[in-house]
Amino acid sequence: MTSQNQNSYPATGTLADHPRGADSEVLLKGVVIYGEGEPQDVLLRDGVIAEIGSGLSSEGETLDLQGQILLPGLVDMHVHLREPGREDTETIATGSASAAQGGFTAVFTMANTAPVTDNPSIAETVWFKGQNTNLCDVHPVGSISKGLEGKDLTEFGMMADSDAKVRMFSDDGKCVDDPRLMRRAIEYSKGVDVLLAQHCEEPRLTETAVAHEGATSARLGLSGWPRVAEESIVARDAIMARDYGGRLHICHASTEGTVELLKWAKEQDIPLTAEVTPHHLLLTDEKLESYDGVYRVNPPLREQRDVQALRQALIDGVIDCVATDHAPHGSEEKCCEFDRARPGMLGLETSLALIAQIFVLNGDQDWRFVARVMSERPAEITKLPGHGRPIAVGEPANLCVVDTSDEWVAYGEEMASKSRNTPYEGMTMPVRVSTTVLRGKVTCRDGKASV
């Protein structure tokens, strides 16, 4: 990704071949680039960074962002925007607004829609709706198997060649547990150079599971989801990637053992990447004491030692990036008995603040780290042009700005998402995304999506 410049951007889809960036100027006044050095002015013109300096002025809109942190726009490899099929819980428009408010300029929306995104026409519908909304690039993920049934492969090539330019395939929500199907998927994926993202869950070990298998699930009488159900698939897929190649990606790593396996795979130079969610980096299964369905998620919240291992793995690069697994659900699906609640949590609007809280505000890591794990690495893994790029003159103006003096309290009611299932209700967030810019167009202003 080092040689790409604005001339090779963008390469995704027909509408994006004529990106509707702002044709006027936007001036970001007084931002601290990557949180390093003195405040600078950054002038955006025609969708690219035109000038960086001090005392710049502009005919266009000027945003006074004195002392705020400028980062590349965030990229989320794993969201569920629920369209088509469950527009009552999220749409591409509301999900895009949620993404813009969270600082994201590109998201990948999973294929477990209704109907399933298993053919070019649904993928193109999602892609064009995202482009029409124009708050965030919404890349559809194609399913690996037709109808997510785990039997027949979809047409990777046709989806990759469609206007949606599908570059990632996943049966997320379900695991491709059949090793023969996974082997065929890898072999097919290599010919069309697409990424396969695996939801690692051996289904025969989790048939009735609703919570992490451990002391808490035993005490609360909840059916357990053992670590081995995840780790056995991670191990199998690491070995498949070693022997068959391809590009494999592990969704939402959640256990200490998965970290050990990833470490082993990276030491062998196996082409395997991985993501972790903010909730697995912060919360443990002790939250389940409340029996509140908002804490049901798949894979489940684990234990403190898993949280510690995941944090260290992200710092060390054993886990490559953060992905939110933003999963909106209606209140009737969450406010019910714990074992009837649908798994999944909102994530887009709180992720930057949580990652800052866990890693940066305590002085452990710097803002470059955030740029790496929330923008640069996900863009590299998905081979996504134009995003996760350096902040430099001539680069695409896909950016976000973080106000470290704007503490706020998370309330589902106030989010841009159509759903309310945030596990952080009432929690103080230490920083806020004030501004997001997509190809020079301001998509979030003063913390609110520009709808």
Question: Of residues 199, 247, 266, 311, which one binds Zn ion by CB under 5 A?
Answer: 199
Q: Is 306 a catalytic residue?
A: no
Residue 29: name the closest of 58, 62, 52 by CA.
Answer: 62
Residues touching Zn ion: how many (CB under 5 A)? 3
Q: How far is the CB of 209 from Zn ion (least distance, A)?
A: 14
Structure tokens at 421: 């299932």
Identify whether the C-beta of residue 10 lies closer than 8 Å to the C-beta of residue 16: yes
Residue 86 binds Zn ion (CB under 5 A): no
Q: Is 340 annotated as a binding residue?
A: no
Q: Is 184 exposed, middle or buried (0-12, 13-18, 19+ CB in 10 A)?
A: middle
- Over 107-133, what HEC string results? EEECCCCCCCCCCHHHHHHHHHHHHHH
Cβ distance to Zn ion smaller for residue 209 or 449: 209
Structure tokens at 356: 């800052």
Q: How far is the CB of 172 from Zn ion (least distance, A)?
A: 4
Quote the Cα angle for 307-245-12, to 5°.
Answer: 80
Cβ distance to Zn ion smaller for residue 137 or 172: 172
The alpha carbon of 343 is separated from its chain's Cα centroid by a whole number of angstroms, namely 17
Question: Of residues 25, 76, 172, 237, which one binds Zn ion by CB under 5 A?
Answer: 172
Q: How far is the CB of 199 from Zn ion (least distance, A)?
A: 4
Q: How far is the CB of 78 from Zn ion (least distance, A)?
A: 7
Cβ distance to Zn ion smaller for residue 231 or 376: 231
Kindly list the distances between the CA atom of residue 23 and the CA atoms of 20, 78, 264, 385, 450, in Å, as whole numbers in the listed order: 8, 31, 49, 21, 17
Structure tokens at 47: 């969708």
Cβ distance to Zn ion smaller for residue 78 or 334: 78
Choose one: 49-57, 83-91, 172-180, 262-270; the region binding Zn ion (CB under 5 A): 172-180
Dist CA 75 CA 276 (whole Å)? 13
Which of 137, 163, 285, 325 is the catalytic position? 325
Dist CA 228 CA 235 (whole Å)? 10
Cβ distance to Zn ion smaller for residue 343 or 412: 343
DSSP class of residue 357 equals I
For the annotated binding site for Zn(2+), the residues are 78, 80, 172, 199, 252, 325
Please identify every residue annotated as catalytic.
325
User: Which residues make up each annotated binding site?
Assistant: 78, 80-82, 112, 172, 199, 252, 298, 325, 329, 343-344
Q: Give residues in contact with Zn ion (CB under 5 A).
A: 172, 199, 251
